[in-house]
Structures are given as structure tokens and as C-alpha cells.
């Protein structure tokens, strides 16, 4: 669909210390070893696809971000904001809520 | 209506770090491709139409705003204050609640 | 009534970052175009009639006020303190709760 | 009563940014214009009778008080601590809760 | 009882901005003017018997205490921690909760 | 039991402004003056047995601790974390929650 | 399983002041002295296996971490985030929630 592919080309810039994450899904295989695509479910791991400029601190400076695009991150079980971008589910987290990176 | 058009010409200046946003509506077309105007509903995207001077920080300075008029922004599902201005629904957000921009 | 007019002459000085606002009422006209005074109701717009000196900041300074007497302001739907002054209803808002000005 | 008058002579020094206020009561007159003393009720106006030295700020300084003894003040409908001093009801407010002065 | 009198000689040093207070009790007299000791009840006045060194401030300094041993203080109706010391009820308050002194 | 005595020799270092306290128990004697060991119950007094390095302050420094090992302290009725160390119940308190020392 | 062992070789870097802990389990022996592996349960002690860079402070600096890899730590009864890493349960704690170390 042309409109969707156009949309995909838009870049998204998170604000503050927000981090846009694409969550990995778990693969499920049949007994015979065939991948079952309908049985995927999101895991608590993801890949960072966009990073905000940092959070505004009380002294007027901006916090340094500790994750960057491409990082594999461990996500909390709850929290995060689901956003539908270009037909795919992405998740926005405050950097302080991301547990760690691999 | 003369009075309304007069009102439209009033400029609105948000206070603090508030951002006035016009939310985009989704278009719905009939099976025959005809736009159905009554079926529009607001999306989580919008256009910034006015920006406050920034939030007062504890050290007396004012926060720098990271969005400007004309920016396309991603909005949170909840929050924001609906204001009726000149017969149209607009939304006011604190900048810190805006998720990101395109 | 002499006593009330005396009272009207008292000046009122809000404390901290409080702003005294006179809310505008909507006019309702009959089908024949006659103004119906009993049908007035307060709108979310008002006129600033007194402004406090600013809020005390943690560093000991006082916040600069961004509204002044005579400003037309947009008010939040909830909040504000109704005060009866000289027989009229006025509203006190913290400046941080005022949404913007026209 | 001798003991009470002695007590009245004690001075009371509020701590922090507290303000001791004597609330005004509304006068009620009979149809014939005679003052009905039992029908008095406290209004939201009062007179400052003692003022604390100021609130301790995070940076170790003390906040400057904006009201002084003798000021007529506008009081919030709720809040304040009723204290019985020398047989009379007085009210203690944090200065930040006092709405303004006349 | 020897053990109790020993205990009474222990000095108690409140921590932070805590203030140890001995609350005054109201005297009740019979119709004939005889003091009824069992009818005493604590009032909202007390005498300071020990004072902490001050509260730790965010900037690392210690807050200056505004009450000292021997001060007569006005206490809030609620709050304070009842501590039984040497068989007598004393009360610990944060200095910020003490309303004022006489 | 050998394993337990080994464990007792481990030193425990509280983190932040935590204080490890051994609470005193009240002694109960029979009518004949014999100590009843099963009737002991913890009092609100204790002895400090380990002290943390201090709490991290917002300005990056560490708070100075006001209690030291061996101090007799007055404990709040609620709060504190019961920890079983080497078969005995000890209690961890934030220093700010300890009421005072003797 | 090859995939799992690969995963085990990934290093995990906690963010902020988070600490990754492997909790110790209590051993249960049969009456005859035989270890019962199914009866293990986690204790409130653990070993630090990864440490974050420190928490972002309001003044822009990063908090110094007081625990390091290999430390034996005392954990709170509640709190902590269970994360399944490479088939094993680990726990993430904010450093401020760790009670102490041995």
C-alpha cells in the first residue's frame, strides 16, 4: 500500500528522555519444527529505534541518554506506551524505566 | 457569521510549557471511495498551533521548548485539556506529555 | 447601598502567584433577539483584575508573573477558588493553572 | 476573670510561615435593625494578629513574609487550624494558604 | 522505685528536628474548689524538654532550631509520637509541626 | 551449632543511611521474682550494632550519620525492617526514622 | 541446548543505579542428611552479578555505586524486579533498596 510505505519513511523523534523500542517476539515452532507465525508473543527484550534528546533537569540542563539506536534492551513487564506507527506496534519508554541493555 | 470570524482572528498564547494542538482526524471512505465526513475521529497525531514560553524552573529560569508551531506531534492516549476555541476543538498539552514529533 | 459601594473601593492584593479573575458569562438571546439576563452562565474565559507578586521559589527568589491586569485568559474547567467580593463572584487561580491568554 | 486577662497578656509567636488570624464575623440585624449577637458567623475575612519568622527553605534561608500584623486578609474556605487562645477562637494558616490581602 | 529514678536521670537527645515535649494537663476542680487529679486531661500546650540538632537539608547543612528547652509551645491537635519515658508520657514532634510558642 | 557461630562472625555493612539495631526485650518476673524468659517482648529501645555510610544527597554528597555503634536509641512503634541474621532478629531503620538516643 | 548457552555469553549492563542479583537458595536436607533439590527456596541474600553506572542526580552528575560485582547483599523481602535471563531467575534492585552487604 503506497500510503503506508510513505508513512514508513517519516522519521520519529521522541521528546524528553523517551526511547522508542521495537519489542522482540518469541518464536513458536510446531512439533515438526515449523515456525508458527500466529503464535508469536512479545518478549521483554527489544531494539531501540529512536532516542529522545534527554530529560530537562531542574538546573536547566538536559540529561545524557545512556541508550542509543540499535541497543538491545531489557524492558519492564509493565509500563511503556504502546504507539501504532505505520501499522506496527512500537513502545515508548522513559529511559529511567528501561532495566538494562545487552 | 461575523462574530465567529472575528474570534478566529484572536491569537492565543499558551502559558508555561503548554502547547496548543489541533488533532488530526482519520478519514473514512465509503465502499465507493466517497469520504464520509461524519465518520471522522481524532487520531493520536496533531499539529502544533501555539507554544508557551516554557515552564518556570526551580532556579528561576524558563525551560526551553522543544516543539514549535507547525510540528507534527504524537500525542498520548489520555491527558490533554480539550478547549473549544472559535467553535473548534483544540487540545492543550504540557510539553512533557507530548510523546514525540515527526 | 452605601456600605457596598465603600467595599467596592477596597483594593484586593492576591498573595503568591494568585490571579483574581472575573469570568465572562455567555449571553443568551431570545428568538426575537432580546438578551435574557437570567440565562447567563460563566464561560472558560475571563479578565484578570488583580495579580499577586509571584510564587516564592526554593532559591528564595520570586517567580515572574506572566499575566497582568486586563489580560483575557483561558481558564481550566475545574480548579480555582470562588470568592465573593463585594457581592460579585470572582475566581482566584494559581498562575500555573491558567491555560493561556488571548 | 483575673486568670483569663493574665492569659490574654501572653504573647504568641507562630513558628515557620504560620500566621495567626482573628476571623471577622458577619453581623445579623433583626427586621427592626437591632444587632443579633447570637447570629454571628465567621466570614472568610480576618485580621492578622501574629506572624511567624518565615518558612525554612531548602537552601537554608528563611522565606520573607508578605503579611504583617494588622493586615486584613482573605482566607480559604477550608484549611487553617482552629486554636483556642484565652477563650477566643483564633485560626492559624500557613502564609501560602492565605489568598490575599485588602 | 530505685530503677525508675535511675532511668529518670538518663538524658534523651532527639534526632533530626525532633522536639520532646511534656504536655500540660488541664486542672479540674470540684464545686468546692478541690483539685480532682483523676480528671486531668492533656491540653494543646506543652513545655519543651529536649531539642534535636536540626533537620538535614538537601544542601548538606542542618536546619536551625527555633525552639529551645523550657519554651512553652502550642501543639497541633493531631500528630506527634507518644513515647513512654521513665513511666511518664512525653510527645515527640517535628519542629515544623509545632504551631508556635508563647 | 558450628555453622551458626561461623555466620555470626560475618560483618554486616548497612547501605545508605540504614542503621542495624538490636532491640531490647522487657523482662518479666514471676510473683516470686524469677525471670520468665518466654515472656520477653521487644521494647522501643535498642542498641545500634552497625551503621551505614550515609544517604546520598541531591548535591552528590553523603549525609553525616548522627548515631554510632553502641548508641542506645529510641525506636518508632512502626517501621523498620526485620532481618533475621544468624538466627537472631535484628531491625534495620533509616536514620531519619530513629526518634532519638539516650 | 546450543541457543541457551549462546545467550548465557551475552553480557547484561543494568541502567541507572540498578543492580542485578542472583539470590541464594536455602538448602533442605532429608532426615538422613541427603540434599533435597526440589525443596530449595530463595533467601534474602544474594550475589551481585552486574551493576549499573549510577543514578542521574538533579545536578546532572551520576551517583556513585556502593556495591560491586561479587558482593554478598541483604535484600528486602518485597520489591525487586524478577527477570528471566538465559533460563535462570535473576533480580534487579535499585541500589537504594538493597539493605546492606556482608
Task: Tally D–E CB contacts below 8 A.
Answer: 48
Query: Which residues are within 8 A (CB) of G97 and not within 5 positions of it... i.e. 6 or more apart?
Result: G76, G79, G80
User: d(Cα F62, Cα D85) in Å, to the nearest integer?
Assistant: 44
- The predicted model gives D11-21 an average pLDDT of 94
By the 8 A CB rule, do E19 and E101 touch? no
pLDDT of residue F83: 85
Per residue in C25-72, pLDDT tens? 877 667 777 766 666 667 789 999 999 999 888 777 888 899 999 999
Query: Is E101 in Cβ contact with D18 (below 8 Å)?
Result: no
- When pLDDT is cut at 50, 70 and 90, the band that residue G77 belongs to is confident
Cα–Cα distances in angstroms (integers) from residue G46 to residues A7, B94, G25, G90, in the given order: 49, 43, 9, 10
Residue, of A7 and B21, whose pLDDT is higher: B21
Any CB–CB contact under 8 A between F20 and chain G? Answer: yes
Which chain E residues are closer than 8 Å to D83 by Cβ?
44, 74, 99
Query: Is F60 in Cβ contact with G59 (below 8 Å)?
Result: yes
Q: Which of A23-32, B47-56, G40-49 is predicted least confidently?
A: A23-32
pLDDT of residue F82: 87
Which chain A residues are closer than 8 Å to B61 by Cβ?
60
By the 8 A CB rule, do G74 and G100 touch? yes
pLDDT of residue B2: 38
| Nearest CB neighbour to G58, from listed A58, A77, A95 | A58
Query: Is C58 in Cβ contact with D59 (below 8 Å)?
Result: yes
Query: Is D99 in Cβ contact with C15 (below 8 Å)?
Result: yes
- The predicted model gives A68-92 an average pLDDT of 88
pLDDT of residue B38: 67
Q: What is the mean pLDDT of each run of 10 residues along chain B (102 residues)?
A: 44 93 81 70 88 86 91 89 84 94 92
Any CB–CB contact under 8 A between A20 and chain G? Answer: no
- The predicted model gives D11-20 an average pLDDT of 93
- When pLDDT is cut at 50, 70 and 90, the band that residue A39 belongs to is low
Any CB–CB contact under 8 A between A74 and chain G? Answer: yes
- When pLDDT is cut at 50, 70 and 90, the band that residue G2 belongs to is very low
Chain C interface disruption, residue of D19, D52, D65, D74, most C CBs within 10 A: D74
pLDDT of residue G32: 78
Closest residue in D to C92 (Cα) is D99
Which chain C residues are closer than 8 Å to B11 by Cβ?
102
- When pLDDT is cut at 50, 70 and 90, the band that residue D66 belongs to is very high
Any CB–CB contact under 8 A between A9 and chain B? Answer: no
Query: Is G100 in Cβ contact with F81 (below 8 Å)?
Result: no
pLDDT of residue G37: 66
Query: Which residues are within 8 A (CB) of C32 and not within 5 positions of it... i.e. 6 or more apart?
Result: none
Query: Is F50 in Cβ contact with G100 (below 8 Å)?
Result: yes
Chains C and F touch (3+ CB pairs under 8 A): no
- When pLDDT is cut at 50, 70 and 90, the band that residue G38 belongs to is low
Looking at chain F, the whole-number percentage of residues with pLDDT higher than 70 is: 82
- Average pLDDT over chain C, rounded to whole? 82
Using CB atoms, which chains have 3+ pairs under 8 A with A?
B, G
CATH of span C2-101? 2.30.33.40
pLDDT of residue G5: 37
User: d(Cα G44, Cα G98) in Å, to the nearest integer?
Assistant: 10
Query: Is A50 in Cβ contact with B66 (below 8 Å)?
Result: no
Q: Is pLDDT at D91 greater than 50 in this prediction?
A: yes
Kindly state the greatest CA–CA separation across chain F: 60
By the 8 A CB rule, do C63 and C94 touch? no
Please classify residue C41 by burial: count the beta carbons closer than 10 Å to its beta carbon, then call 0-12 exposed, 13-18 middle and 19+ buried: exposed
Query: Is D59 in Cβ contact with E100 (below 8 Å)?
Result: no
Query: Is B18 in Cβ contact with C99 (below 8 Å)?
Result: yes
Q: Is pLDDT at G3 greater than 60 in this prediction?
A: no
Residue, of A15 and D59, whose pLDDT is higher: A15
Any CB–CB contact under 8 A between A63 and chain G? Answer: yes
Any CB–CB contact under 8 A between C18 and chain D? Answer: yes
SS (H, E, C) chain E: CHHHHHHHHCCCEECCCEEEEEEEEECCECCCCCECHHHCEEEEEEEEEEECCCCECCCCCECCCCCCCCCEEECCCCCCEEEEECCEEEEEEEHHHCCEEC
- When pLDDT is cut at 50, 70 and 90, the band that residue G59 belongs to is confident
| Nearest chain F CA: its distance from E62 CA (Å) | 10
Residue given cell 524558563 in the structure block: B62
pLDDT of residue D7: 45
Chains E and B touch (3+ CB pairs under 8 A): no
Any CB–CB contact under 8 A between B18 and chain C? Answer: yes
Q: Is pLDDT at F8 greater than 60 in this prediction?
A: no
Which chain C residues are closer than 8 Å to B18 by Cβ?
99-100
User: d(Cα E99, Cα E96) in Å, to the nearest integer?
Assistant: 8
User: d(Cα D19, Cα A8) in Å, to the nearest integer?
Assistant: 61
User: d(Cα B62, Cα D31) in Å, to the nearest integer?
Assistant: 58
| Nearest chain D CA: its distance from E102 CA (Å) | 4
Closest residue in A to B100 (Cα) is A14
Closest residue in G to A78 (Cα) is G81
Q: In F9-81, which ranges are continuous DSSP H helix?
A: none
pLDDT of residue D5: 38
User: d(Cα D71, Cα D78) in Å, to the nearest integer?
Assistant: 20
| Nearest CB neighbour to B99, from listed A11, A56, A83 | A83
| Nearest chain E CA: its distance from F95 CA (Å) | 9
Query: Which residues are within 8 A (CB) of B79 and not within 5 positions of it... i.e. 6 or more apart?
Result: B93, B97
Closest residue in F to E94 (Cα) is F99
- When pLDDT is cut at 50, 70 and 90, the band that residue A46 belongs to is very high
Q: Is pLDDT at C6 greater than 80 in this prediction?
A: no
Closest residue in F to E59 (Cα) is F59
Q: Which three cell numbers stand for residue B20?
A: 496548543
Q: Is pLDDT at A84 greater than 50 in this prediction?
A: yes
Buried/exposed code over G11-39 (b: 16+ C-beta within 10 A; e: otherwise): ebbbbbbbbbbbbeeeeeeeeeeeeeeee
Amino acid at each position: 500500500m503506497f500510503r503506508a510505505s510513505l508513512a514508513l519513511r517519516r522519521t520519529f523523534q521522541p521528546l524528553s528522555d523517551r526511547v522508542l523500542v521495537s519489542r522482540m517476539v518469541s518464536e513458536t515452532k510446531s512439533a515438526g519444527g515449523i515456525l508458527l507465525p500466529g503464535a508469536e508473543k512479545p518478549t521483554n527484550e527489544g531494539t531501540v529505534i529512536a532516542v529522545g534528546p534527554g530529560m530537562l533537569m531542574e538546573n536547566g540542563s538536559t540529561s545524557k541518554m545512556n541508550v542509543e539506536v540499535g541497543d538491545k534492551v531489557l524492558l519492564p513487564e509493565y509500563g511503556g506506551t504502546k504507539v501504532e506507527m505505520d501499522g506496527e506496534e512500537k513502545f515508548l519508554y522513559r529511559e529511567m524505566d528501561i532495566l538494562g541493555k545487552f
